[in-house]
Amino acid sequence: MASRLLSDLIIRNGPVPFSVAMDVALYSSGGFYAAGGGAGRRRDFITSPEVGALFGALLANALDSRWEVLGCPDPFIVAEVGAGSGMLARTVLAAAPRCRQALRYVMVERSESMRALHSQYLSLTAADELLGRSTEGRRSSEEDAQIIPGQGPLVASMTALPAQRFRGVIVANELLDNLAFDLLERRVDGWAEVRVTNGAYGALQELLVAAAPELDAWAMAIAPDAPIGGRIPRQVQAREWVHAACSALQAGSVVAVDYAVKETASLAHRDPAEWLRTYRAHGRGRHPVEDVGLQDITVEVAIDQLPKPTHISTQADALVRWGIAPLVAQARSTWHERASIGDLAALQARSRVQEAEALTDPTGLGSFTVMEWDVGRIASVQP
């Protein structure tokens, strides 16, 4: 169990940073994702791809636009990081995008249990064949390095991004909120770091320790008006992931969809339970250091801690750009024509309209933030 792994780690090394506890809780061999937790109607929470096929169809439109901007390269590599069970990949491919003959779709997923599902729903190609190089990024021969154009769509499942740079798009839907972060609290005499330690009767508990000078200075700079008791996350892994994703591209875009906030300082004035949340079985879970490994742990993504995005919009606005209006108009027309018949076409049309409402709901998924980084225009931020 993840709780036992974490307790043993604390016994060996002493109280651990919140980021270490979160990483064990989610990604260790006994963690939440290793045990099959995650997105899905029969799992723990619903993300946009699980609402229905519409989100994938709209992402396919966006991928087509980026493919054309890049000059229609073949291969055109799309890497979806945090692919989960592969639902988004399946709906993108089902939409038959214009780029499909050039498309090499790479599902990147850390969880072995999630990767095991990929081959159940999709025909997979070995990464060597799909990318024209070894999975470590080294060409084993000129013959292996060749990619025959027009063979797509090809799909692969990997544990990490390809080692060699490529032209294409990297997609991350609700990934950054799950990357481990440290937690700080404002005290009268400066900032304290929230650590996790062993408590009574085998329970885990928080422990406040004085923040290291560099952490204290960072927190003072990013949230100078934080009230006593206010907390903020330090999202180093999210920042590093964006840098790594942008560095993986020769040309193209990184697209991340998540719940986010513009400024870290605003979080210090809110109840931490509002922006540091846990989920289990489609409901809110318990405190993050309770039920370790049995619940998801998420955080609102602080955009000012990331490299500056090239574009920022709400999901609702992004879906408009990606072409939701004509698809919904067509569905409404079909529904009106065939509602009295009640056949499969009518039901599918009604479902598409309902999906659109859920995906653009300003109080729900529609309020999510779509962050895009165009390679070549990446601004750095201080750690």
Q: Looking at residue 334, what is its pLDDT?
A: 86
Give the pLDDT band (50/70/90) at residue 349.
Answer: confident
Residue 226 and residue 265 in contact, taking contact as beta carbons nearer than 8 Å: yes
Q: HEC string of the chain?
A: CHHHHHHHHHHHHCCEEHHHHHHHHHHCCCCCCCCCCCECCCCCECCHHHHCCHHHHHHHHHHHHHHHHCCCCCCEEEEEECCCCCHHHHHHHHCCCHHHHCEEEEEECCCHHHHHHHHHHCCCCCHHHHHCCCCCCCCCCHHHHCCCCCCCCEEEEECCCCCCCEEEEEEEECCHHHCCCEEEEEECCEEEEEEEEECHHHCEEEEEEECCHHHHHHHHHHCCCCCCCCEEEECHHHHHHHHHHHHCEEEEEEEEEECEECCHHHHCCCCHHHHEEEEECCEECCCCCCCCCCCEEEECEEHHHCCECCEEEEHHHHHHHCCHHHHHHHHHHHHHHHCCCCCHHHHHHHHHHHHHHHHCCCCCHHHCEEEEEECCCCECCCC
Give CA–CA dist 175/306, Å, rounded. Answer: 14
Q: What is the value of pTM for the model shown?
A: 0.90
pLDDT of residue 134: 45
239-256 average pLDDT score: 96
Q: What is the mean pLDDT of the chain?
A: 89
pLDDT at residue 113 in the model: 83
- Rounded to an integer, what distance in angstroms lies between the CA atom of residue 13 and that of residue 122? 43
Q: Tell me, what's the pLDDT at 382?
A: 37
pLDDT digits (tens, 9 = 90+) for 254-275: 999 999 999 999 999 999 999 9
Distance, CA of 5 to CA of 345 (rounded, Å): 51
Q: Which of 51-65, 144-158, 291-305 has the lowest mean pLDDT?
A: 144-158
Q: What is the pLDDT of residue 142?
A: 39
Which residue do the tokens 């709780």 mark? 3
Choose from 48-57, 132-141, 210-219 the range with maximum mean pLDDT. Answer: 210-219
Please report which confidence band the pLDDT of residue 37 belongs to, taking 50, 70 and 90 as the band edges.
low
- 165: phi then psi, degrees, rounded to nearest 5: -65, 150
pLDDT given at position 45: 58
Q: What is the mean pLDDT of residues 10-35?
A: 90
Q: Residue 301 and residue 259: Cα distance in Å, rounded?
A: 6
Q: 282 or 326: whose pLDDT is higher?
A: 326
Mean pLDDT for 175-188 is 96
- Regarding predicted confidence, which is higher, 334 or 72? 72
pLDDT 10s digits, 124-180: 999 888 876 544 444 444 344 567 788 889 999 999 998 889 999 999 999 999 999
Which band of pLDDT confidence, cut at 50, 70 and 90, is reported for residue 376? low
What is the reported pLDDT for 128?
80
HSE toward the beta carbon, residue 195, CA cutoff 13 A: 19
Residue 63: band (very low, low, confident or very high) from pLDDT cuts 50, 70, 90: very high
Q: Which residue in 184, 300, 303 sits closest to 239, CA to CA?
A: 303
Distance CA 53, CA 50 (A): 8
Please, how many CA atoms are within 13 Å of residue 291, restricted to the half-sphere of its CB? 14
73 with 66: CB under 8 angstroms? no
Least confident segment among 81-95, 134-148, 184-198, 202-216 = 134-148
Q: Which pLDDT score, from 0 to 100, does residue 40 have?
A: 44
What are φ and ψ of residue 278, in 5° steps? -125, 150
pLDDT of residue 41 exceeding 80, the answer is no
Q: Residue 73: which of 256, 248, 250 has the closest Cα?
A: 250
Fold that domain 48-178+238-315+365-374 belongs to in CATH:
Rossmann fold (3.40.50)
Residue listed under structure tokens 């636009």: 65
Domain map (residue ranges) of the chain: 48-178+238-315+365-374, 319-359
- In whole angstroms, give the CA distance from residue 373 to residue 383: 19
Q: From CA 238, how far away is CA 301, in angstroms rounded?
A: 8
Distance, CA of 298 to chain centre: 11
Burial class (CB in 10 A: 0-12, 13-18, 19+), 293: buried
Spatial neighbors of 59 by CB under 8 A, at least 6 apart, are 88, 91, 92, 171, 322
Residue 2 vs residue 137, higher pLDDT: 2
How large is the average pLDDT for residues 211-235? Answer: 97
Asked whether the predicted pLDDT for residue 378 surpasses 90, the reply is no
Q: How confident is the model at residue 335 (pLDDT cuts 50, 70, 90)?
A: confident
Whether 43 shows a pLDDT value over 80: the answer reads no
